Amino acid sequence: MTDPPLSPPAATAPEAPTAQPHSTAQPPDTAPPDPAAVLRARLDAGLRNLALCIAYDGGPFMGWQVQPHGPTVQGRLEEALRVLTRRPTTLYGSGRTDAGVHAYNQVANAWLPAGQDLGKLRAGLNGLAGPDISVKALAWADPEFHARHSAQGKCYRYLVFNRPYPPLFERTRCWWVRPPLDVEAMRAAAARLLGEHDFSAFRAKDCAAASPVRRMRAITLSLAGPPEEALRVDLEASGFLQHMARIVVGTLVAVGLGKLTADDVAAILAGRRREGAAATAPPQGLHLLRVDYDQKRFPELRALLADDPAAGTP
């Protein structure tokens, strides 16, 4: 999961509808398309920008982004849109969640022919996407809105089941850690990660992000339940590098087990070496809770994201 750097680029129109949907390669000696020209062409063709709020169980999928081998959330929804609109459509997500990672409020956008009945379209998408995906809301968006480029931050929630016996009802949505965790020590270590830093120590070695600098706005640890009490780790940042949220959680759990200290975490951050941090926490405990946008710039998103993402979530 790689998100934009601390200061994301200005919102630009996505690739033209005639471009290959999952390739950014340009033919030799060909300049990249002019975003303004692409936008004009789409509007002239009678297309409108549709924003979607989506929840999904990541267990059955190989992540958000279309993959050549195996089902993905993007692929499932693009196929549903193709059937309903009778035209190929590319869906642009706010980020690429990994295989097994869940989402309460993923945001995406796509360009569709004007005149769509959004109520019928949502019903059709939910009918075709399958039981592991829920299209929660749709809204026509500003032409310059882009789910990824317009994002200003994200919030992830990680669930840790910290009991000597295994979880039952939440076993596919949490990480089972048997030994008792020192939550106060974890909170002290989490405080060392707040602010703007180079998070190279907390990203995958093959992370392709141009800059490792992100601003960690908050890390909150709290207990939640019943039916099965879990430790919730909520992480809010300007953006997340590939595996960043899971490596942070894995490192905080190592602190809770007494393997690392808060001072160790500060040194790991300063050292900027992936080998210094702990192992990456497993994917099934991670949930995309919220994506933040400038709702004054894009007021149509207020209705799309009206539900409180923290309400009623484990």
Catalytic residues: 98
Nearest to 244 by CA among 168, 140, 158, 137: 158
Nearest to 77 by CA among 54, 101, 95, 50: 54
Q: Which helix (H) or strand (E) holds 203?
A: none
What is the identity of the amino acid at 310?
Answer: A
Contacts of 86 (CB under 8 A, 6+ apart): none
Angle in degrees, CA 184, 189, 194, rounded to 5 = 120
DSSP string covering 249-277? HHHHHHHHTTSS-HHHHHHHHHHT-GGGS
**The pair of three-digit structure tokens given for residue 164, joined into one six-digit string:** 């000597």
Q: How far is CA 85 from the centre of its chain?
A: 26
**The pair of three-digit structure tokens given for residue 226, joined into one six-digit string:** 């019943």
Q: Using CA atoms, how far apart are residues 205 and 25, in angstroms rounded to an integer?
A: 23
The C-alpha torsion from 82 through 84 and 90 to 92, rounded to 10°, is -150
DSSP string covering 136-195? EEEEE--TT--TTTT--EEEEEEEEE-SSS--STTTTSSEE--SPP-HHHHHHHHHTT-E
What is the identity of the amino acid at 78?
Answer: E
Phi, psi of 95 (to 5 degrees): 180, 170
